[in-house]
């Protein structure tokens, strides 16, 4: 087989993009390569998840007799170690860690901050439902000494992201990312162990015909959310009502929305008065997906504000998320602005 038939690997794609758009130092490519390696390791473990209790019978338990660890802890460790290993990190922030992580002693440091959700949707693992890793890459902006950071480096609005992406561990394993020049999707070919370009220049169709939300939360939603969803689920003239699809795994629900169009929402709800802001986290769930959505021609909003414009207040901040095709998300904003309501 010739090299042409094998296709473009993610590293080749990254290098050619950097050559086109300039500013490449190699540091960024090394960082992404460490993320890719982490994802391959996580993917291997996710694929064996159902075997955890019978690994002993297949002779695959580890020789030290270590207990099988929770996959989200494992994923957190793998991403953290690989990224620090790159030598280009100034700080890391993870959904699994209460505070940002410093570069450990003995490691080289650099100018990048990566905020990530190591295994999003992990409550779905036991049912063999797709899950994912989400990442957001920022550049250090404080003038703190090398290897140090301050809050302003972590709490950057989405529009400051250098790159963002996710890995989807599903029926096939995919990587989708943007550096601000469109969105590219790659599929892992297990026979060669590399991600190959399978979805060049992804554009989100608009309008779509699918909406995605946890309808079990209906009674906790504000009227604007209910009016908007009632609108989508009513036939509109010649247009049939929207279909409902909800996996409950953000990367999967977003990935479908990216490819098929429509809208995913996790709006504010009144269930927990301490969390009136929805469930999803701004810095490592909403902002990176918002960057991808916008680069694919879509929109990401809280209903009242562009996600990418929010000035973060804390690492684990939650915000309402309405993300998807331009037509559906801008329609939602009309409902939240009170320009459309119950009878429309």
Binding site for ligand AHM (CB under 6 A): 95, 117, 120-123, 214, 248-250, 253, 266, 279
> How many CB atoms lie under 10 A from the CB of residue 107?
15
CB-wise, 71 or 89, nearer to ligand AHM? 71
Opening angle at CA 285, ends 209 and 160, nearest 5: 105
Q: Among residues 199 and 316, whose Cβ is nearest to ligand AHM?
A: 316
| From 117, 153, 194, 269, residue interacting with Mg ion (rule: CB under 5 A) | 117
Give CA separation, 126 vs 33, 129, 130, 252, in Å. Answer: 29, 8, 10, 16
Q: Give whichever of 140 and 318 is closer to Mg ion, judged by the CB atom.
A: 318
Is residue 250 helix, strand or coil? helix
Question: Residue 139 and residue 293: Cα distance in Å, rounded?
Answer: 21
Q: Does residue 253 bind Mg ion (CB under 5 A)?
A: no
Question: What is the DSSP secondary-structure string of 159-186?
Answer: GG-SEEEEEEESSSEEEEEESSS-EEEE
Q: How far is the CB of 299 from ligand AHM (least distance, A)?
A: 18
Partner touching 12 among Mg ion, ligand AHM, none, CB below 5 to 8 Å by kind: none
130 or 205: whose CB is closer to Mg ion?
Answer: 130
Minimum Å distance from CB 322 to ligand AHM?
A: 13
Q: Under a CB-based contact definition with an 8 Å cutoff, are residues 94 and 76 in contact?
A: yes
Looking at residue 308, what DSSP letter applies?
G
Query: If we measure between CA atoms, which residue out of 207, 245, 227 comes closest to residue 328?
Result: 207
Is the CB of residue 263 less than 8 Å from the CB of residue 211?
A: yes
Q: Write down the least CB distance from residue 47 to ligand AHM, Å.
A: 19
Nearest Cα neighbor of 35 from 100, 79, 93, 92 is 79
Closest distance between Mg ion and the C-beta of residue 75, in Å? 11
How many whole angstroms separate alpha carbon 128 and alpha carbon 199? 24
- Within positions 119 to 138, which residues make up the interface with Mg ion, using CB under 5 A? 120
* Residue 194 in the binding site for Mg ion (CB under 5 A): no
Using Cβ positions, the residue closest to Mg ion within the complex turns out to be 120
- C-beta of 121 vs 261, nearer to Mg ion: 121
By a kind-dependent CB cut-off of 5 to 8 A, residue 214 interacts, out of ligand AHM, Mg ion, none, with: ligand AHM
In the complex, least distance from residue 250 CB atom to Mg ion, rounded to whole angstroms: 6
* Interacting partner of 198 out of Mg ion, ligand AHM, none (Cβ under 5 to 8 A depending on kind): none
How would you label 39-48 residue by residue, b for 16+ Cβ within 10 Å and e otherwise? Answer: bbbbbebbee
User: Considering the complex, what minimum distance in angstroms separates the CB of residue 190 from Mg ion?
Assistant: 26
- Between β-strands 210-212 and 243-244, what pairing exists: parallel, antiparallel or unpaired? parallel
Residue closer to ligand AHM, measured from CB, 27 or 259: 259
| CB neighbour list of residue 133: distance below 8 Å, 6 or more residues apart | 38, 39, 42, 75, 79, 116, 117, 118, 119, 120, 166, 167, 169, 251
Q: How far apart are CA 182 and CA 184, in angstroms?
A: 7
Q: Binding of Mg ion at residue 72 (CB under 5 A)?
A: no
Stretch that binds Mg ion, among 49-57, 117-125, 217-225, 259-267 (CB under 5 A): 117-125
CB of 141 to ligand AHM, least distance (A): 27
As measured in angstroms, the least distance from the Cβ of 95 to ligand AHM is 6
Which residue, 144 or 277, is less far from ligand AHM as judged by CB? Answer: 277
Which residues of the chain form contacts with Mg ion (CB under 5 A)? 117, 120
């Amino acid at each position: 087989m010739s090299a042409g038939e094998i296709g473009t690997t993610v590293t080749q794609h990254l290098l050619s993009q950097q050559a086109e758009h300039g500013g490449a130092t190699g540091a960024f490519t090394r960082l992404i390569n460490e993320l890719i390696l982490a994802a391959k390791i996580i993917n291997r473990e996710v694929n064996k998840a159902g075997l955890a209790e019978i690994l002993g019978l297949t002779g695959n338990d580890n020789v030290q007799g270590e207990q099988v660890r929770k996959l989200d802890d494992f994923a957190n460790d793998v991403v953290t170690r690989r990224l620090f290993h790159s030598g280009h990190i100034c700080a890391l922030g993870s959904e699994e860690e209460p505070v940002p992580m410093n570069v450990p002693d003995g490691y080289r440091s650099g100018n990048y901050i990566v905020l990530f959700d190591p295994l999003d949707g992990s409550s779905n693992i036991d049912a063999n439902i797709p899950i994912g890793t989400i990442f957001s890459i920022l550049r250090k902006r404080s003038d703190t000494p090398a290897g140090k950071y301050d809050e302003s480096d972590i709490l950057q609005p989405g529009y400051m992201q250098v790159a963002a992406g996710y890995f989807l561990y599903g029926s096939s394993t995919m990587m989708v990312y943007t550096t601000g020049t469109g969105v590219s999707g790659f599929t892992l070919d297990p026979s060669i162990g590399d991600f190959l370009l399978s979805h060049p220049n992804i554009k989100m169709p608009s309008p779509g015909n699918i909406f995605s939300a946890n309808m079990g939360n209906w009674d906790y939603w504000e009227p604007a959310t209910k009016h908007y969803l009632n609108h989508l689920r009513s036939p509109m003239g010649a247009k049939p009502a929207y279909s409902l699809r909800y996996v409950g795994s953000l990367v999967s629900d977003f990935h479908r929305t990216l490819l098929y169009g429509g809208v995913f929402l996790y709006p504010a709800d009144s269930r927990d008065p301490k969390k009136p802001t929805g469930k999803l986290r701004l810095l490592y769930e909403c902002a990176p997906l918002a960057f991808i959505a916008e680069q694919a021609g879509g929109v990401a909003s809280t209903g009242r504000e562009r996600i990418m414009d929010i000035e973060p207040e804390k690492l684990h901040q939650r915000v309402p998320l309405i993300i998807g095709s331009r037509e559906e998300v801008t329609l939602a904003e009309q409902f939240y602005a009170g320009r459309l309501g119950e009878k429309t």
